[in-house]
């Protein structure tokens, strides 16, 4: 066997040097815990099956930066690409929250778990999720940290916590997360996070309006594929969600549509009812179906509709944008 021995040594030394640096970066380097003002970075503002494949809007969920705790929420497909594009350091993530087992909410989670646990080298971070996700086998045993067949990988989430409605979870000594039942798919939860200064709500995907009177006074049930007619009065809705989310300072609402598929989604029409008379200071609309984005960008008009009815600041969340929570 004839080869250039000098080149061999050069490549060998280079390989060792870079791999050692990488291993130091991933496994040893200390990084500071986020201590800045609370903020949200959207890695995805799109939802539902067509958007999932078309990626008219991204589907990576969002990162909630709180003083002392960084939480990744509903990391859908693309999350790893988007955290790299946005210079998010996965080594700094302290927890991952998965609301329910639909593809646009969980599919990127295994990758994020590998980042959070420093390439599965440490027991680190907390995985918060609906038990149904585990029952369906959507998160592998390896990514739950229960690995037996991956020699050398000793890491995984330090804790896997299954969510229960109303059961408060301490993220830090000062920050709590309370799961809120969502009515969509199987087991599903949004949350309310309380810090000493602020409360933040996340609806997850959920239905909200169940029955209404149209402007002629005819009572109608919401039905799949039938848009909500211009309502006169909402007669049945998820009162628990209105009570809980109207008390938060900041609300992240997965609306999906203007007035369609209310059997499964809040819709902008439902959001206007939920926010009316609430103490919410700012609401970010997200989880938008493709129909909100193309062929015409209609999401802003939906936000106008909600704003006009509620006098509350309503923003359309945009991909790769940070929003400070004040
Ligand atoms: Zn869903």
**Predicted local distance difference test score (pLDDT) of residue 211:** 97
Residue 151's pLDDT band, with cuts at 50, 70 and 90, is confident
Positive or negative: CA dihedral 41, 47, 52, 57: negative
Coil vs helix vs strand at 183: coil
Residue 149's pLDDT band, with cuts at 50, 70 and 90, is low
**Predicted local distance difference test score (pLDDT) of residue 21:** 97
User: Does residue 249 register a pLDDT over 90?
Assistant: yes
**Predicted local distance difference test score (pLDDT) of residue 154:** 85
CATH 3.60.15.10 fits 34-322, yes or no: yes
Q: How far away, in angstroms, is 205 Cα from ligand 1 center?
A: 5
pTM: 0.96
Q: How far away, in angstroms, is 128 Cα from ligand 1 center?
A: 17
pLDDT tens-digit readout, 22-69: 999 999 999 999 999 999 999 999 999 999 999 999 999 999 999 999
- Provide Rg for the chain, Cα atoms: 22
CA–CA separation, 110 and 140 (whole Å): 8
The dihedral over CA atoms of 95, 99, 104, 109, expressed in degrees to the nearest 10, equals 30
Q: How far away, in angstroms, is 184 Cα from ligand 1 center?
A: 6
**Predicted local distance difference test score (pLDDT) of residue 12:** 97
User: Does residue 120 register a pLDDT over 80?
Assistant: yes
**Predicted local distance difference test score (pLDDT) of residue 147:** 76
Q: How far away, in angstroms, is 295 Cα from ligand 1 center?
A: 23
Distances (CA, A) of 223 to 147, 159, 238, 257, 260: 44, 40, 16, 14, 9
Q: How far away, in angstroms, is 48 Cα from ligand 1 center?
A: 7
Residue 152's pLDDT band, with cuts at 50, 70 and 90, is confident
**Predicted local distance difference test score (pLDDT) of residue 308:** 96
Q: How far away, in angstroms, is 99 Cα from ligand 1 center?
A: 9
Q: How far away, in angstroms, is 182 Cα from ligand 1 center?
A: 10
Nearest to 139 by CA among 162, 168, 107: 107
Q: How far away, in angstroms, is 256 Cα from ligand 1 center?
A: 10
User: Does residue 130 register a pLDDT over 90?
Assistant: yes
Q: How far away, in angstroms, is 53 Cα from ligand 1 center?
A: 14
User: Does residue 148 register a pLDDT over 70?
Assistant: no
For 198-203, what is the mean pLDDT? 98
Q: How far away, in angstroms, is 293 Cα from ligand 1 center?
A: 19
Q: For the chain, how many residues are written?
A: 326
Any idea where the domains of the chain sit in the sequence?
34-322
**Mean pLDDT for all residues in the chain:** 96
Q: Are 303 and 312 in contact (CB under 8 A)?
A: no
pLDDT tens-digit readout, 263-313: 999 999 999 999 999 999 999 999 999 999 999 999 999 999 999 999 999
User: Does residue 112 register a pLDDT over 90?
Assistant: yes
């Amino acid at each position: 066997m004839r080869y250039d021995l000098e080149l061999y040594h050069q490549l060998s030394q280079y390989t060792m040097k870079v791999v050692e640096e990488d291993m130091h970066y991933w496994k040893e380097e200390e990084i500071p815990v986020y201590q800045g003002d609370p903020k949200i970075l959207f890695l995805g503002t799109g939802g539902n099956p067509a958007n999932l494949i078309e990626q008219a809007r991204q589907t990576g969920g969002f990162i909630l930066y709180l003083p002392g705790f960084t939480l990744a929420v509903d990391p859908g497909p693309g999350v790893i690409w988007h955290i790299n594009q946005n210079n998010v350091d996965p080594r700094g993530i302290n927890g991952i929250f998965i609301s329910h087992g639909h593809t646009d909410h969980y599919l990127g989670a295994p990758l994020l778990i590998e980042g959070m646990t420093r390439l599965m080298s440490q027991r680190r971070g907390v995985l918060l999720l609906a038990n149904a996700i585990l029952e369906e086998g959507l998160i592998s045993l390896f990514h739950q940290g229960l690995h037996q067949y991956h020699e050398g990988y000793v890491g995984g989430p330090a804790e896997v916590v299954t969510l229960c409605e109303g059961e408060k979870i301490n993220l830090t000594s000062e920050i709590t997360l309370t799961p809120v039942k969502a009515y969509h798919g199987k087991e599903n939860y949004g949350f309310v996070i309380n810090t000493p200064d602020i409360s933040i709500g996340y609806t997850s995907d959920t239905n909200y309006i169940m029955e209404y009177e149209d402007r002629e006074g005819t009572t109608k049930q919401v039905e799949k594929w039938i848009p909500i007619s211009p309502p006169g009065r909402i007669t049945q809705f998820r009162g628990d969600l209105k009570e809980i989310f109207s008390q938060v300072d900041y609300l992240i609402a997965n609306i999906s549509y203007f007035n369609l598929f209310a059997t499964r989604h809040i819709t902008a029409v439902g959001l206007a009812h939920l926010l009316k008379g609430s103490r919410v200071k700012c609401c970010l609309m997200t989880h938008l179906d493709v129909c909100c984005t193309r062929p015409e960008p209609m999401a802003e008009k939906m936000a106008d509709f909600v704003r006009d009815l509620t006098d509350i600041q309503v923003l359309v969340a945009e991909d790769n944008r940070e929003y400070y929570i004040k």
